[in-house]
Structure 1
Amino acid sequence: MSAPYTGRCLCGAVTLRANAGPVATRQCWCRQCQSLAAGGPTNNAIFRVDDVIVEGKLGQSSWQAASGNTLTFRFCPECGTQAYGQSSARPHLMTLRIGMFDQPHDLRPEMVIWTDDAPDWAVIDPELECHPRQPPAASLAPPGN
């Protein structure tokens, strides 16, 4: 399956539609993501904001990430499903949680980041490109840069 991708939270109050494919897909082992994911990594698909429609009421929380950027995380306030996050460094992008998308889909991590923060029991696919911390941002630059 390819774009469009659709999804919803557990209770159905928040829906999303991505009308184009992601610019990247990543698994993140940073400490903040481990906290959000009950000790494991988050699995994310990064889309351009202009390609995504999110409907429904969202809650939000913000914090400073290890990268130094401010991350704003949005979720369904009814069921708590994580919807997406945005970084102050890349406001033109949305990092959507792969678990939010309807099955079947072809989204899967192509890169693993923040592996230095992964616990010793983490299972990291050796076939994927890995970065010990934040990867270079060149592939996620705004259009025209």
Structure 2
Amino acid sequence: MTERTGRCLCGAVSFTLSSEPLATRVCWCRDCQHLAANGTVNLLVAADGLSIRGALAEYSKTADSGNQATRQFCPACGTHLFAKSAARPEFRIVRAGNLDEPSSIRPTLNIWASSAPEWACLDPQLERVEQQPVPPQPRPAGSQA
């Protein structure tokens, strides 16, 4: 595993991923569409494999899944960086566009595809999940992907 790093637009918040993503997916839920005016590419990571430097602001609401979701962003520039669910505290969502090398990952599925607008360009080579997929099992500490 090569460490991945990233940051917000202004650089006030930076992060390091020390483990491989558990999943990389394009999310078409309405919340992600509001964030990006499109689907968003997200990494699902083990919370203990993400280290964050800098202060974060938060916004919480009930997500389409029914779970309490907290989105975390840079209070200076507003860049949306992370999300977490009260139902699954062992995971974090990292927005792939904030990686220093976003091409180091590749999405494998579209989630919440039932919420995608008619004009959405869903890659037909990616697995399609109509709503929230079953979460993967976290990898044991120190394991490789």
Q: Same-fold call, TM > 0.5?
A: yes
Match of 1:32 in 2: 31
Match of 1:48 in 2: 46
Which piece of structure 1 moves more, 101-110 or 72-81?
A: 101-110
Q: CA RMSD in A?
A: 1.4
Secondary structure at 2:5 match in 1: strand
- Give me the whole-angstrom Cα distance separating, in 2, the residues matched to 1:104 and 1:116: 26
Using the TM superposition, give the Cα deviation of residue 33 of structure 1 relative to its aligned residue in structure 2, in angstroms: 0.7
Count of residue pairs brought into register by the alignment:
140
- Give me the whole-angstrom Cα distance separating, in 1, the residues matched to 2:2 and 2:94: 14
Letter in 2 for 1:91: P
Q: Does residue 8 in structure 1 map to residue 10 in structure 2?
A: no
Secondary structure at 1:34 match in 2: helix
Letter in 2 for 1:135: P
Which piece of structure 1 moves more, 100-109 or 12-21?
A: 100-109
- Structure 1 residues 1-145: aligned runs within 5 Å: 3-38=2-37, 40-103=38-101, 105-137=103-135, 139-140=136-137
4+ runs of 1 displaced by more than 6 Å?
none
Cα distance, 1:104–1:83 mapped onto 2, change above 3 Å: closer
- Give me the whole-angstrom Cα distance separating, in 2, the residues matched to 1:41 and 1:76: 20
Letter in 1 for 2:5: T
Secondary structure at 2:15 match in 1: strand
Using the TM superposition, give the Cα deviation of residue 45 of structure 1 relative to its aligned residue in structure 2, in angstroms: 0.6
TM-score by length of 2: 0.91
Letter in 2 for 1:27: V
- Give me the whole-angstrom Cα distance separating, in 2, the residues matched to 1:55 and 1:122: 34
- Give me the whole-angstrom Cα distance separating, in 2, the residues matched to 1:3 and 1:61: 31
The answer on whether the counterparts of 2:96 and 2:102 sit within 8 Å (CA) in structure 1 is: no
- Give me the whole-angstrom Cα distance separating, in 2, the residues matched to 1:85 and 1:136: 17
Residue ranges of structure 2 left out of the alignment (5+ in a row): 141-145
The answer on whether the counterparts of 2:6 and 2:16 sit within 8 Å (CA) in structure 1 is: yes
Residue ranges of structure 1 left out of the alignment (5+ in a row): none
